[in-house]
Homo-oligomer: A and B are copies of this chain.
Amino acid sequence: MKGKTFIIAGPSGVGKGTIIQALFAQQKNLYFSVSATTRAPRPGEVDGVHYHFLTREQFLRWIEEDAFLEHAEYIGNFYGTPKRYVDEAMDRGEDVILDIEVQGAEQVYQKRPDTIRIFIAPPSWQELERRLTSRGTETPEKVRSRLARAREEFSYAEGYNYVVINNTVEEAVREIQAIICAEHCRPAQRIALINGM
Q: Which residues of A contact B (CB under 8 A)?
A: 118-119, 121-125, 154, 157-165, 174-175, 177-179, 181-183, 185-188, 190-191, 193-194, 196
Contact = CB atoms under 8 A, between A and B. Distances in A.
A57 to B, nearest CB: 41
Contacts of A174: 181
A181 B175 contact: yes
A178 B178 CA distance: 4
B158 A191 contact: yes
12 contacts: A124-B194, A154-B191, A158-B188, A161-B187, A162-B182, A163-B185, A165-B193, A175-B185, A178-B185, A179-B185, A181-B182, A182-B182
Interface SS majority for chain A: helix
Given A163-B185, A177-B178, A185-B175, A123 B158 contact: no
A178 B194 CA distance: 21
Contacts of A157: 187, 190-191
B194 A121 contact: yes
